[in-house]
Homo-oligomer: A and B are copies of this chain.
Amino acid sequence: MQKTPGTFELLKTAPTGRARRGRLHTAHGVVQTPIFMPVGTLGTVKAMTPHEMKDLGAQIILGNTYHLFLKPGHKLVEKMGGLHQFMSWNGPILTDSGGFQIFSLKDQRKMTEEGAIFRSPIDGGEKHLLSPELAIEIQESLGSDIMMVLDECLPYPAGRDTAKTSMELSLRWAKRSLAARTRADRLMFGIVQGGMYKDLRSEYIERLVPLTHTGRTFEGIAIGGLSVGEPPELMWEMTEHCTAHMPTDKPRYLMGVGTPEDLMECIDRGIDMFDCVLPTRNARTNKLFTSTGDLNIMNACFTEDAGPLDENCSCYTCQNFSRAYLRHLALSKEILGARLNTIHNLHFYLHLLDRARLAIEEDRFPQLKAEVIAKRRSQ
């Protein structure tokens, strides 16, 4: 049954570990968690139609505030009926705030109290100020179901003082973001920063969660600033530390993560939502995820390989095409190669999460995790 947008139903928590099975309600439908959200940067999940995304079982996709602000512009998208109508996707959309993309601009950005000042290569280096309020205004124009607050993302490694100063700024921005929301039916998630300092992370959570504006809080809490160059084990450890301090009644979103192993490890540590460009980006450079490990389809060993990409896969690509054909498409730089690879990689991720949800329901998530990881190491 459809409930008020923002309602999060925690259906189950694993008896061992912290894996959770839940349901998040949005204005465009329910999201079954844990969930992987494919990235649709510029109003399209690269190489895919929205109808193919539905067929693959994608429940929710991402849009990028930073990119859509610069191209084609959020005002145009709004005029065209919002991002859902513009890209012909009627399911839930989560938009990031642009913070991470601006962080990636390195010396072409400057953080001020007011907001992030940056020059972007996308529009030829024009100067922009993205304030927390503008980030929300853009996301409301896009019609996003789940909006993210603007935050400052720290480089890795970052000193403690830098992390502390940055954290204070991001917290002030979080408060301003909450006050900037005008739409009752749209969700907003706060983002926990604090670098690799556990005490800063817990302090951040303690101060972020109680923030309210006219009675409304953040409907979900995200963990930002991870997967920025630190070793995977440290990322998992920081995630584990954060989820231990996060409320259980709100969805937890680990931003920009990760490999199939990261997903298994972090579901086990209590994460409900993930997004990552890995399956789509890797597909376009011919790097493919399989149940027995990853491969590059350009490799000469696949020249005469009549078998499917992954023996255990039921996706369109694996059901219809051989490794030899996919290699030929890759070498020939055919668009169909990027498409078939993307279908496979997205199926791999989405199906992995399908299996995770089922395993949590059936109290066997730790076994699934061990099995998936061991099998992927087998080759």
Q: Hey, which bits of chain A sit against chain B, CB under 8 A?
A: 42-44, 46-51, 71-72, 76, 79-81, 86-88, 303-304, 306, 316, 320-322, 324-325, 327-329, 331-332, 334-336, 338-340
Contacts and interface: CB of A to CB of B under 8 A. Distances in A.
A43 B303 CA distance: 15
A71 B328 contact: yes
Nearest to A306: B80
Given A49-B339, A332-B71, A335-B335, A325 B42 contact: no
A334 B48 CA distance: 10
A327 B76 CA distance: 12
Given A306-B80, A332-B71, A86 B324 contact: yes
A79 B304 contact: yes
A88 B325 CA distance: 10
A81 B306 contact: yes
B76 A336 contact: no
A267 B328 CA distance: 36
A304 B42 contact: no
A61 to B, nearest CB: 13
State the oligomeric state as a number of copies.
2
Question: Which 8 residue pairs spanning A and B have beta carbons closest together?
Answer: A47-B335, A44-B336, A88-B320, A72-B328, A42-B332, A44-B334, A80-B324, A86-B325
Contact of A80 (B72, B86, B325, B338): B325
A331 B46 contact: no
A297 to B, nearest CB: 13
Given A331-B71, A334-B42, A303 B76 contact: yes
A335 B338 contact: yes
Contacts of A329: 43-44
Contacts of A321: 88
Contacts of A48: 336
Contacts of A71: 328, 331-332
A335 B46 contact: yes
Contacts of A79: 304, 306
Nearest to A88: B320
A336 B280 CA distance: 13
A294 to B, nearest CB: 22
